[in-house]
């Protein structure tokens, strides 16, 4: 029975996929002798346990169902404000379809205000502290890095470091790397709501975000093991401060932050989608030019008409195969993985929804795409975290590309586990 289960959907390849991901992290490790293998094994087991609870137990499935329903209800509330402000343009059922800038981006503003309010009321702190209380002793990581890794599952990659901003200047290189990787390996609550609105499976994103906590720590600690004495190790208490004076101040501050994020997301989409079109045109002209030259000199060879999707489909196809996909589906999945890293997960999810993948494939791909791991986020982290700790700005710039690799591997490891369990 076990053999037939592993053969079905090529699940046996997922074991090779997990091993391949760990091997890549090991190859790029800065100090292979200092890798804490107890932490590696514990984090991997924790990742599996979270996946089993989410995908194989009644309790996990029920919890995800109710949280997903809550998220869906919340963006219905956001829709009331959108409809009031934009009238018929804010209605999903309108004949012109979804207007992204009007019906989707404003949800970020609403959720930014909501998360700020929940933080002011102490609800976010209790959730983060509770998970941190369980995770930190098991992995043996420091309080500050673990707290930030957990918080990134609720907040954004520039908001979560605010919780530990007083500890950032004393962080070791390994701790700061965990902060960066966990920031790119997860998505914030406000962005999750937007993807839910687009039709991405909410339960899968919630489970992926939870699995990203041990996954990001696991990969980060392999690639940059701890070699120094941390300032917030052991039972050192971490104080979570709130800066807003009252609930109205919290709503106002969250609205401003949400608006800034929404504008940034919109601007990034405009620029990067436009740049993709330009690069695709350049690649097309180059291919046509090479083929014309070959014809001119009577060479019996023609170059395929290149575009970015084709290039990244080739680069990421091994991971698509290790996820158990084959044929056309593997090509599509590889394209989505490449789009996520080269542009962002926003565009990848936009492309995934209309692809009509099977429910199983869509769920697995959601785990792989559920994170901010892309090149543009290097600048976001340098700008966001660099303001909080200018003395570590050089480290942020040096670790940028490595962070994209590590967080991508973390997301892929969660996808491999999900593929194995579904």
pLDDT at 403 over 80: yes
Instruction: Look at residues 236, 230, 121 and name the one whose alpha carbon lies nearest to residue 178.
Output: 230
Q: Stretch 260-272: mean pLDDT, rounded?
A: 75
How confident is residue 33, by pLDDT bands cut at 50, 70 and 90? very high
Contact, 209 vs 201, CB < 8 A? Answer: no
The answer to the question of residue 346 being in a domain is: no
pLDDT tens digits for range 158-200: 777 877 776 788 889 999 999 999 999 988 776 787 788 778 8
Q: Stretch 335-355: mean pLDDT, rounded?
A: 86
User: In the prediction, which pLDDT does 239 show?
Assistant: 63
The answer to the question of residue 133 being in a domain is: yes
The answer to the question of residue 22 being in a domain is: yes
| 158 Rama sector, left if φ>0, alpha if ψ -120 to 50, beta otherwise | alpha
| Weakest-pLDDT range from 91-95, 263-267, 347-351, 371-375 | 91-95
Question: At CB < 8 A and 24+ separation, what contacts does 34-39 make?
Answer: 34/225, 34/226, 34/227, 35/221, 35/222, 35/225, 36/140, 36/221, 36/225, 36/226, 38/140, 39/139, 39/140, 39/141, 39/217, 39/218, 39/221
What is the residue-averaged pLDDT of the chain? Answer: 85
User: In the prediction, which pLDDT does 380 show?
Assistant: 75
Alpha carbon distances (Å) from 339 to 309, 335, 352, 404: 7, 6, 10, 13
How confident is residue 288, by pLDDT bands cut at 50, 70 and 90? very high
pLDDT at 37 over 70: yes
Instruction: Report the distance separating Cα 271 and Cα 349, nearest Å.
Output: 17
Q: Stretch 390-414: mean pLDDT, rounded?
A: 92
How confident is residue 243, by pLDDT bands cut at 50, 70 and 90? confident
The larger pLDDT score, comparing residue 395 to residue 98, is at 395
User: In the prediction, which pLDDT does 369 show?
Assistant: 93
Instruction: Look at residues 260, 256, 253, 262 and name the one whose alpha carbon lies nearest to residue 116.
Output: 253
pLDDT tens digits for range 299-311: 888 888 888 777 8
Contact, 288 vs 307, CB < 8 A? Answer: no
pLDDT at 398 over 70: yes
Q: What are phi and psi of 91, to 5 degrees?
A: -95, 125
User: In the prediction, which pLDDT does 280 show?
Assistant: 86
Percent above pLDDT 90 for the chain: 34
The most confident of the ranges 41-50, 105-114, 226-235, 365-374 is 41-50
The answer to the question of residue 315 being in a domain is: no
Instruction: Report the distance separating Cα 36 and Cα 309, nearest Å.
Output: 38
pLDDT at 136 over 60: yes
Q: Stretch 11-15: mean pLDDT, rounded?
A: 94
Q: Which residues contact 176 (CB under 8 A, 6 or more apart)?
A: 168, 392, 395, 396, 399
pLDDT tens digits for range 91-133: 655 555 567 788 777 877 887 788 788 888 888 777 777 777 7
Instruction: Indicate the SS3 state at residue 375.
Output: coil
Annotate 47-108 with DSSP letters as a single string.
Answer: HHHHHHHHHH-HHHHHHHHHHHHHHHHHHHHHHHHHHHHHGGGG-TTSTT---IIIIIHHHH
The answer to the question of residue 384 being in a domain is: no
Query: 239: domain range?
Result: 10-270+406-421
The answer to the question of residue 386 being in a domain is: no
Q: Is the dihedral of CA 307, 311, 317, 320 positive or negative?
A: negative
The answer to the question of residue 282 being in a domain is: no
pLDDT at 291 over 60: yes
pLDDT at 222 over 90: yes
Q: Stretch 327-342: mean pLDDT, rounded?
A: 89
Task: Write down the pTM of the prediction.
Answer: 0.82
How confident is residue 286, by pLDDT bands cut at 50, 70 and 90? very high
Number of separate domains in the chain: 1
The larger pLDDT score, comparing residue 233 to residue 52, is at 52
| Weakest-pLDDT range from 5-9, 173-177, 195-199, 232-236 | 232-236
pLDDT at 400 over 60: yes
| 298 Rama sector, left if φ>0, alpha if ψ -120 to 50, beta otherwise | left
Contact, 79 vs 216, CB < 8 A? Answer: no
pLDDT at 256 over 90: no
How confident is residue 47, by pLDDT bands cut at 50, 70 and 90? very high
Token pair in block for residue 43: 């984090």
How many Å from the N-terminal Cα to the C-terminal Cα in the chain? 15
Percent above pLDDT 70 for the chain: 93
The answer to the question of residue 374 being in a domain is: no
Instruction: Look at residues 252, 244, 245, 184 and name the one whose alpha carbon lies nearest to residue 219.
Output: 184
The most confident of the ranges 256-260, 308-312, 398-402 is 398-402
pLDDT at 290 over 70: yes
User: In the prediction, which pLDDT does 284 show?
Assistant: 92
How confident is residue 34, by pLDDT bands cut at 50, 70 and 90? very high
Instruction: Look at residues 4, 14, 10, 6 and name the one whose alpha carbon lies nearest to residue 415.
Output: 14
């Amino acid at each position: 029975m076990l053999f037939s289960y592993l053969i079905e959907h090529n699940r046996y390849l997922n074991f090779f996929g997990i091993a391949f991901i760990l091997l890549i992290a090991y190859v790029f490790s800065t100090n292979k002798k200092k890798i804490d293998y107890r932490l590696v094994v514990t984090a991997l087991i924790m990742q599996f346990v979270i996946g089993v609870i989410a995908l194989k137990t009644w309790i996990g499935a029920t919890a995800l169902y109710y949280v997903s329903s809550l998220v869906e209800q919340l963006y219905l509330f956001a829709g009331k404000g959108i409809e009031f402000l934009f009238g018929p343009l804010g209605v999903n059922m309108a004949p012109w379809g979804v207007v992204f800038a009007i019906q989707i981006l404003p949800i970020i503003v609403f959720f930014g205000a909501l998360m700020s309010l929940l933080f002011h009321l102490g609800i976010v702190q209790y959730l983060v502290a509770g998970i941190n209380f369980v995770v930190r002793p098991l992995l043996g990581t420091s309080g500050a890095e673990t707290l930030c890794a957990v918080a990134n599952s609720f907040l954004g990659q520039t908001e979560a470091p605010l919780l530990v901003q007083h500890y950032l200047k004393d962080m070791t290189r390994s701790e700061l790397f965990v902060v960066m990787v966990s920031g790119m390996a997860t998505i914030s609550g406000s962005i999750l709501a937007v993807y839910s609105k687009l039709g991405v499976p909410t339960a899968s994103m919630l489970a992926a975000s939870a699995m990203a906590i041990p996954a990001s720590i696991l990969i980060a600690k392999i690639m940059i093991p701890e070699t120094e004495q941390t300032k917030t190790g052991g039972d050192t208490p971490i104080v979570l401060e709130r800066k807003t004076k009252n609930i109205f101040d919290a709503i106002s501050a969250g609205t401003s932050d949400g608006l800034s994020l929404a504008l940034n997301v919109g601007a990034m989409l405009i620029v990067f989608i436009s740049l993709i079109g330009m690069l695709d045109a350049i690649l097309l002209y180059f291919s046509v030019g090479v083929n014309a030259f070959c014809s001119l000199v009577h060479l019996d060879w023609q170059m395929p008409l290149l575009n970015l999707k084709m290039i990244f489909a080739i680069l990421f196809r091994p991971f698509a195969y290790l996820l158990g996909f084959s044929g056309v589906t593997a090509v599509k999945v590889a394209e989505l993985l490449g789009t996520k890293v080269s542009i962002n997960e926003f565009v990848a999810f936009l492309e995934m929804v209309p692809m009509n993948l099977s429910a199983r494939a869509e769920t697995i791909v959601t785990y792989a795409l559920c994170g901010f791991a892309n090149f543009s986020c290097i600048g976001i982290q340098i700008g966001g975290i660099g303001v909080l700790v200018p003395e570590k700005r050089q480290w942020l710039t040096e670790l940028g590309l490595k962070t994209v690799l590590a967080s991508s591997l973390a997301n892929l490891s969660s996808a491999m586990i999900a593929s194995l369990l579904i």
